[in-house]
């Protein structure tokens, strides 16, 4: 099987951790990439090499090391910009994670420092999210609503795990200031169609943000094609390191926004009683940034590009179709999310009748070395909507195989034997 030219066994060799043995001689079956992905040698070595031979602070050190670090850090920005087809490299803001990127935008609203009408918000104004959001795309907007008196509203989710946009015209209206929606759900796997929502957002003159933490790692994402105003994603889910995230925003909006954090390198000039700010993206990168992490993300982007995002998407589509079929034979297993491989990514969450996900995860790990995630996956409201406290989630990436899905199914049969 496999997409033409895609050799999963060759890819697995790039990820040293996949060959390790767990205590007791169990091989590792890593099905938790939706949580955080593993790292290829190319990323590890790039970071190691930079730390060993080039490291200095960026943007402010005049010596050789400082300029080598600055060059590598800024080259990473170029790579990320190209990876998501950003019209300008200055539209790529490095943050520490996707949460920070989402908060950065949320804090631009209702900030008295800002003068742009589009970011003014108060009582009577509305913010729209959805019931399938990760907490990082819920809580920043709750906080914004609390700070400003604005109203938080949300799209419901259908029983099949799709975004329910039947009431789109009512939910997104003249009072709406921002709509922030996940591109691919971290629980359901659902890939949301952005364009119908965006069309309405434009009609009412609001702004739109997309949380692409689970889509940018797994499919080609072109921010211009997407057409929204802001996109957030994170390095550690796309074979890069943790500690580095990305905010892409339309230049003209980033320029209009007030700074987020104040500190070194985000300024133009400072007096004792006021400051002027650096142009974007540096306006939003206060303090010494995660230098080696950004460079690692650049290497990750190189790696994914060399493999091919179309190839990765096709491989994961095969995996999820295989998994959805294979899991049907486990009695009492209920998939939470779309049961067909259409408009969904390689994330499959499920419940096993009468057995708590923590018990499922523990047995899978201890007996079979299968790493899955259990719990509410930082999407508690979505679980409440389905009337369940938690799920077990298997999430796939470019290095996973159908044999690993077979192991999962065997493991689940064993779990049922222990608790049956």
Q: Any contact of residue 359 with another protein (CB under 8 A)?
A: yes
DSSP SS3 for 371 = strand
Q: How far is CA 345 from the centre of its chain?
A: 13
- Minimal distance in Å, beta carbon 409 to another protein? 19
- Minimal distance in Å, beta carbon 190 to another protein? 21
How far, CA to CA in Å, does 61 sit from each of 30, 48, 66?
Answer: 41, 21, 5
Let me know: does 160 contact 185? Beta carbons within 8 Å.
no
Q: Residue 294 burial by CB count (10 A; 0-12/13-18/19+): exposed, middle or buried?
A: buried
In which residue are the tokens 């939470």 written? 336
Q: Any contact of residue 71 with another protein (CB under 8 A)?
A: no
| DSSP states of 122-187 | -TT-EEEEETT--GGGTHHHHHHHHHH--EEEEE-B-TTS-B--TTHHHHS-TTEEEEEEESB-TT
* Interface stretch with another protein, choices 41-49, 105-113, 320-328, 369-377 (CB under 8 A): 369-377
Q: Any contact of residue 363 with another protein (CB under 8 A)?
A: yes
Nearer to another protein, 29 or 128 (CB): 29
**Which one of 41, 142, 173, 362 is in contact with another protein (CB under 8 A)?**
362
φ/ψ of residue 27, rounded to 5: -75, 155
DSSP SS3 for 93 = strand
In which residue are the tokens 């790529």 written? 92
Nearer to another protein, 259 or 357 (CB): 357
- Minimal distance in Å, beta carbon 388 to another protein? 9
Helix axes 291-307, 41-53, angle to 10 degrees: 150
Alpha helices in 54-186 (DSSP H): 64-83, 98-106, 139-148, 168-171
Q: Any contact of residue 131 with another protein (CB under 8 A)?
A: no
Length reported for the chain: 420
Q: Any contact of residue 127 with another protein (CB under 8 A)?
A: no
Q: Which residues within the stretch 381-400 sit at the binding site for another protein (CB under 8 A)?
A: 383, 389-390
**Which of 171, 179, 378, 408 is an active site residue?**
378
Nearer to another protein, 22 or 44 (CB): 22
- Minimal distance in Å, beta carbon 389 to another protein? 4
| Total number of residues that touch another protein (CB under 8 A) | 20
**Which one of 118, 251, 356, 410 is in contact with another protein (CB under 8 A)?**
356
φ/ψ of residue 268, rounded to 5: -105, -50
φ/ψ of residue 255, rounded to 5: -60, -35
Per-residue binder mask for another protein (CB under 8 A), 309-348, x = binder: ----------------------------------------
Per-residue binder mask for another protein (CB under 8 A), 18-57, x = binder: -----xx---------------------------------
Q: Any contact of residue 123 with another protein (CB under 8 A)?
A: no
Is residue 378 flagged as an active site residue? yes
User: Six-digit token pair at 186?
Assistant: 């971290």
Binding site for another protein (CB under 8 A): 23-24, 356-359, 362-363, 365-367, 374-376, 380, 383, 389-390, 418-419
Q: Which residues are catalytic?
A: 378
């Amino acid at each position: 099987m496999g997409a033409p030219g895609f050799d999963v066994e060759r890819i697995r060799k790039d990820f040293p951790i996949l060959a390790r043995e767990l205590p007791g001689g169990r091989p590792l079956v890593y099905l938790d990439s939706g949580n955080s992905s593993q790292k290829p040698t190319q990323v590890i070595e790039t970071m190691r090499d930079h730390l060993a031979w080039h490291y200095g602070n960026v943007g402010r050190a005049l010596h050789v090391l400082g300029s080598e670090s600055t060059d590598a850090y800024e080259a990473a920005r170029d790579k990320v910009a190209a990876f998501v087809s950003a019209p300008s490299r200055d539209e790529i803001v490095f943050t520490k994670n996707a949460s920070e990127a989402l908060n950065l935008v949320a804090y631009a609203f209702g900030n008295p420092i800002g003068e742009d009408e589009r970011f003014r918000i108060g009582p009577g104004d509305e913010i729209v999210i959805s019931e399938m959001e990760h907490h990082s795309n819920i809580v920043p907007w709750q906080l914004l609503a609390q700070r400003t008196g604005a109203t938080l509203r949300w799209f419901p989710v259908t029983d099949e795990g799709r975004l329910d946009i039947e009431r789109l015209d009512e939910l997104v209206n003249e009072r709406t200031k921002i709509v922030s929606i996940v591109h691919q759900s971290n629980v359901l796997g659902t890939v949301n169609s952005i364009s119908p929502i965006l069309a309405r957002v434009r009609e009412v003159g609001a702004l739109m943000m997309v949380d692409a933490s689970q889509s940018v790692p797994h499919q080609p994402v072109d921010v211009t094609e997407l057409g929204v105003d802001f996109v957030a994603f994170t390095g550690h889910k796309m074979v890069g390191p943790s500690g580095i995230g990305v905010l892409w925003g339309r230049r003209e909006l980033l320029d209009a926004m007030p700074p987020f954090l104040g500190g070194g390198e985000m300024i133009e000039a400072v007096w004792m009683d006021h400051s002027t700010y650096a142009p974007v993206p540096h306006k939003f990168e206060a303090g010494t940034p995660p230098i080696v992490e950004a460079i690692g993300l650049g290497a990750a982007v190189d790696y994914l590009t060399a493999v091919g995002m179309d190839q990765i998407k096709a491989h994961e589509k095969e995996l999820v179709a295989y998994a959805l079929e294979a899991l049907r034979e486990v009695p009492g297993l209920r998939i939470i999310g779309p049961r067909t491989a259409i408009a969904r990514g390689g994330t499959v969450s499920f419940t096993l009748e009468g057995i708590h996900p923590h018990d499922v995860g523990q047995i899978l790990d201890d007996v079979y070395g299968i790493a899955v995630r259990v719990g509410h996956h930082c999407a508690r409201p979505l679980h409440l909507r389905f009337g369940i406290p938690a799920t077990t989630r298997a999430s796939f990436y470019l290095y996973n195989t159908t044999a690993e899905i077979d192991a999962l199914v065997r493991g689940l049969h064993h779990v049922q034997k222990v608790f049956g």
